[in-house]
Amino acid sequence: MKTFALLATLATGILLLYGTRDFAPWGDPASPASSHVSRVYIERAVEETHVPNLVSAILGDYRSYDTMFETVVIYCAGLAVVSVLRRNRS
Amino acid sequence: MQQLLTEIVAKYNYWLYVVLMMIGFYAMIGKRNLVKKLLGMNIFQTAIILFYVSIGVKRGANIPIVDKHAALSHGIDAAQVINPLPHVLMLTAIVVSVSVTGVALAILVRIHREYGTLEEDEILEKISS
Amino acid sequence: MKLLQERAKGRPAGDSLIIRTSVRLLVPFIQLYGLYVIVHGHYSPGGGFQGGVVLGASFILLALAYDLKTSLRYMSEGANVLLGNAGVLIFIGIAVLCALLGGLFLDYAALARLIPMAAEEWRSFGIFLVELGVGLTVMSSMVSLFWDLASGGDMEEGL
């Protein structure tokens, strides 16, 4: 069991390390992650929302649908813990 | 060999996160104690969060909090500000990881109350008997 | 030394006059700081998630330094549930209100029909309202996670 786990871990790690070959070098300003939609966000967020903190602007405005269901997820987690654990005091 | 070394030096952060992820993954599938599995999952999540944050780095850029008046009058150069999108995604992912840990701990407390142990094989034995 | 050890064994962990007094003095400032982090999230690092965690941590600190009953006196179970529900309701209510007022879902600029302001100003203000809801929800679920996990669900005695 332990050797199987070790082998599976090593196989996954080697595959992922092989996958890093296709990444851009660290800190490259022209990497794919920072050249498509995030460029538009950075250039237009301040004039469209008047919020200097770009993270807040994206979190609350451009990606607020994501944030809304994130809030629902936390709420459901609290609800689940209460319903799993809490016992009635009598 | 020379090529491999330059590759590692250019992307050593990704290599470190893969090693961190392997530690978490081994704890998740190799350990028998359920709390250790949960801690392995947390390490795994930390590796992924670090990975995403390091995707957003741009060399020589500033934090994504800009001067409002300068931005309104001159506009912003996207190369001067690091990518805020991975930060947003990971901000929500951290909170989800806390929620997942909380729910998992609650279920572990219930399991311990029911079976008196957190070892996987002992629980399976008690279920089958 | 022996006497000190025996005396320490008799009482719950963290039960010391210094810790209690400093926590009692610190908790209002921690809560104020949490509100600052939520409200000032537009201009500095911060926002609903971080501020909510700081607010929740103040109640958890009370429960750690005193006991669970004391934190229940400052923040009752009912109030906690109420605040968590109110947070989600603020977020989804604003989203639905935008849709009802003729804009898109979560398009804060549509709220200008209620209070006339520029579209950019409304988007900035809408982010603040939404972050307030997020902060309330995060605070409530952090506190309730701690209560239930520390006491095993019966809310009698914590750590």
Spatial contact of B84 and A38, defined as CB atoms under 8 Å apart: yes
Q: What is the structure's pLDDT at C151?
A: 87
Mean pLDDT of the B10-32 span: 92
What CATH code is carried by the domain that includes residue B16?
A: 1.10.287.3510
Q: Is the pLDDT of residue B36 over 80?
A: yes
The share of chain B scoring above pLDDT 90, in percent, equals 56
- What is the three-state SS of B51-104? HHHHHCCCCCCECCECCHHHHHHHCCCHHHECCCHHHHHHHHHHHHHHHHHHHH
- Per-residue pLDDT tens digits for C6-46: 766 666 555 788 988 999 999 999 999 999 999 998 898 88
Query: How far is the first Cα of chain C from the last one, in angstroms, to the nearest whole number?
Result: 25
Mean pLDDT of chain B: 90
* Domain segments of chain C as ranges: 15-151
Nearest to C127 among A57, A72, A82 (CB): A57
**pLDDT at residue C157 greater than cutoff 70:** yes
Task: Look at chain A and report how many structural domains it folds into.
Answer: 1
User: What count of CB pairs under 8 Å joins B to C?
Assistant: 21
**Phi, psi at residue B65, to the nearest 5°?**
-120, 115
**Chains A and C: how many Cβ contacts under 8 Å?**
101
Mean pLDDT, each 10-residue run in order, chain A (90 residues): 92 92 85 86 88 91 91 93 81
Per the listing, tokens 């809801």 go with C133
Q: Is C6 helix (H, G, I), strand (E, B) or coil?
A: helix
Domain of residue A66: give its range: 52-90
- Phi, psi values for residue C106, rounded to 5°: 70, 15
Mean pLDDT score, C142-156: 87
Q: Domain of residue B96: give its range.
A: 2-128
A contact test, residue of C77, C106, C146 with most A CBs within 10 A: C106
Check: CB of residue B103 under 8 Å from CB of residue A74.
Answer: no
Predicted pLDDT of residue C13: 58
Show residues of chain C in contact with A65, CB under 8 Å. 105-106
- At B60 the pLDDT is 86
Q: Which has more pLDDT, C157 or B63?
A: B63
Q: What pLDDT score was predicted for residue C6? A: 73
Question: What is the arithmetic mean of pLDDT over B50-78?
Answer: 88
User: What pLDDT shows up at residue C10?
Assistant: 61
ipTM: 0.86
Mean pLDDT for C112-137 is: 91
